[in-house]
Structure 1
Amino acid sequence: MAGEQVSPAGVVEALRARGQTLAVAESLTGGLLAATIVDVPGASKVFRGGFVVYATDLKHKLAGVDASLLALRGPVDAAVAAQLAEGARARCEATWGLATTGVAGPDSQDGTAVGTVFVALSGPASAVEQLSLTGDRAAIRNSAVTAALALLAHHLA
């Protein structure tokens, strides 16, 4: 699914057709995922809201990620991504939760390489993908948004 091109409008329409809703929890994408979704006319029918939890402590305080997991593994981790997605879904009372966490650069973070990204989905189906993305900050962030939307689109298909 990584690298798969997906239309944000197609994702919004698929959610609308199913009567389902979406919430997001974003770290490295810093609101870009939510902005991409709400750029689509009619997104208000399916998009509930979300969290930009850039700081590690906010991943716990706002999205409900287990504090001991964050302390043990750090913020860039598959289990953290899964809990971010579930936290967004549950706290925003949405059908689906979609999350991003990773390192956009320019420097590594706590030994985690630039381009290491996790996208996660929670809802009627759950999934986590680990990505190794390349490019500058903007490219990595944009690729993470594309991968997150592709993950959701795959499970809506």
Structure 2
Amino acid sequence: MAQALLAACRAAGVCLATAESCTGGLVAAALTDVAGSSDVVLGGVVSYSNAAKMDLLGVHSDTLDAHGAVSEPVARQMATGAATRFHAEIAVSTTGIAGPGGSEHKPEGRVCFAVTTPKGTQSQTVEFGALGREAVRARSVEHALTLLLTAAETL
């Protein structure tokens, strides 16, 4: 899927960036595993802590206080922050509870995603369930790449 995404970005004449929390850089790794990806992938930020989300991506402390790190409002600000900082037309973000653990209000396997493009920013929450840390992260990477591909193909 990464190759198809990179080809779609080239065809649209756009570059991309990532902002990752629960995936810890795996989305960027999947993209940069493809030789020649440097003409499309501008960079990525792993912002595991709230401080990193604020300092590196411009997430507002008020948003974190009101919604928590695992939320669509934070995912939207992460994606927008990555696009702005890297001067990318498309950016994706991931923030969630890969596990183990979670809570009644934010269960293991909940991941919030956002994609920003020149057309705007969209977000969604996916409940992967308590599949285990590795599986949640793998599914999150696949989902993030799918969101990016869809975004690139609709520009």
Tell me the equivalent position of 2:95.
Answer: 101
Q: How does 1:5-154 map to 2 (within 5 A)?
A: 7-108=1-102, 111-125=105-119, 126-134=121-129, 135-154=131-150
Q: Percent identity?
A: 38
How big is the shift at 1:155?
A: 2.0
2: CA distance between counterparts of 1:124 and 1:146? 23
Residue 109 of structure 1: how far off its partner (Å): 5.4
* Structure-1 separation of matches of 2:22 and 2:73: 16
Quote the offset at 1:80 in angstroms: 0.5
CA distance in structure 2 between the partners assigned to 1:69 and 1:129 by the alignment: 16
Deviation at 1:110, TM superposition (A): 8.2
Where do 5+ consecutive residues of structure 2 fail to align?
A: none
Runs of 4+ with deviation above 3 angstroms: none
TM-score calculated relative to the size of structure 1: 0.92
Distance, in Å, in 2 between the alignment partners of 1:144 and 1:128 is 14
Shift of 1:124: 1.9
**Gap change, CA 1:39 and 1:72, over 3 Å in 2:** same
Q: CA deviation at 1:156?
A: 2.1
Residues paired across the two proteins, number: 151
**Equivalent residues of 1:103, 1:109 under 8 A apart:** no
SS in 2 for 1:17: helix
Aligned partner of residue 28 in structure 1, secondary structure: coil
User: How far apart, in 2, do the equivalents of 1:87 and 1:109 lie?
Assistant: 28
**Are the equivalent residues in 1 in contact too, given 2:117–2:151 (CA < 8 A)?**
no
> Structure 1: which 5+ runs fail to align?
1-6
